Amino acid sequence: MTFGITGLSGLISRQLTSRPRKQASRKVDTISPFQYNACSDDQAVTYLQGIKAGDAPGTYLLVGANDSPGPAPLGLAYVGAFDRVSNPEFNGSSGTGTWYEISVPDSFNSAGTSVYGPDNLGAGLVNYVGSFTRDLGDASPSPANPSIVGFAYTGAVDGSTTAGFREVQGLTDEGLPGTYTFLHSVDGGLAVGNTDLGGLDERTGYFSLKSTPFVLRLADGQQVAIRFPGNDADDSDLVTHTAYGIWYDGEGQYTIAGGSGVVLESGNGLAAGAGYLIDYDSITGSFSNYTEFDYQNRDRTDLITHFEGIYRDSSGVYWLPATSVGLDASGEISIASVVKVERGLSGDFLARAQWQPIEVRDSATDVKSVLSTGNSLFGNVVVGLASYPTLDGQLSQAAYVTLGN
């Protein structure tokens, strides 16, 4: 994740003085690890990052990477059911479905690929979005020589349609090409992502705290910077946003999910963060109904929340996978939740959401995860990353899939 959650726990550790009341976690059937093995003795961690429905009932289209974010991540896709099977066809990988390795073309000068979001077009065709790491050698990253570049893909589900890949270098608020670009989610022909220059901010002393979230139109590559209330083009408000999820509501209307953060003038980094929803009218180009959501509906500055994706059910209710950094009653500092948000009669989002923490446990040992992320959600299925304590005092990471009741 490029926003906060993986790098901000240290920034807020000094603020963790109050703990929320213990809440009942969401009841789930967990499969963890749910992983891909590139070889028989593969020790790489699998990161599950995006999910949509498959063509057949009970099946899903899942994307992610191994060893991501790393110097040479391997992009992945999985099509099939979520079941407790060690599949000999794929070196003991999880599930009875089919795994695919996804890589951008060699012509992109890529050192590794990570797939963040899928959209199932049916009949074996998909849209994928993600990012790839460029091999810069000894050169320093810059807008003219970017380190991480986004990509969009349309073609066969196995990634074999080479002509279907397109490089995407985002533009910042100032109109400059980004040194780091991530495309996170795709739905209904539009994708969302973030870009930034990647340098140290002179006012805060922190790396990449200010970034530009944008909408990408797959048909022609046009980018539209997402405009938030009070947003400016010169960073004077020191508010940063990310865009991690997009859902097509129909008739040219979309809903975007992500996170917002406030940067302190004193150079203490990101002091507070909340998940948000905002509507986008692709016909008029306007944004509306911006609403922020704090963890468990509390006004707190010791916990940062981020919406990692978005799902809208048939009744028009939104379900958001969320990751929050802070302390809960059990002493955890990364909390995965499912958040339910409804609209009011006027079409705006009701600010008081329903939060349900997810209790993730290792399938073999029943050990509870102490650091969990909620990366994506579709229907009653959530995917993410869990960290389990080991006997030697370390943490062992593993992907998880939960199927809610």
Distance of CA 390 to the CA centre of its chain: 27
134 DSSP β-pair partners:
110
367 close to 361: Cβ distance less than 8 angstroms: yes
Nearest to 111 by CA among 169, 168, 70, 164: 70
Polymer length in residues for the chain? 405
To 5 degrees, how large is the angle CA 374–CA 17–CA 270?
60
Domains in the chain (CATH in brackets) are 9-404 (2.120.10)
Instruction: Supply the DSSP string of 155-193, one letter for each residue.
Output: EETTS--GGGEEEE--B-TTSPBPSEEEEEEEETTEEEE
Please give the structure tokens belonging to residue 168. Answer: 């995407």
Tens digit of pLDDT per residue, the chain (405 long)?
333 333 333 322 222 223 333 445 555 699 999 999 999 888 899 999 999 999 999 999 999 999 865 567 899 999 999 999 999 999 999 999 999 999 999 999 999 999 999 999 999 999 999 999 998 988 988 999 999 999 999 999 999 999 999 999 999 887 889 999 999 999 999 999 999 877 644 544 444 456 899 999 999 999 999 999 875 555 555 568 999 999 999 999 999 999 988 654 444 444 568 999 999 999 999 999 999 999 888 866 557 899 999 999 999 999 999 998 875 555 557 889 999 999 999 999 999 999 999 999 999 999 999 999 999 999 999 999 999 999 998 999 999 999 976
Rounded to whole angstroms, how far apart are CA atoms 130 and 394?
A: 30
Rounded to whole angstroms, how far apart are CA atoms 112 and 72?
A: 4
Tell me the backbone φ, ψ of residue 163, rounded to 5 degrees.
Answer: -70, -10
Indicate the SS3 state at residue 25: coil
253 close to 282: Cβ distance less than 8 angstroms: yes
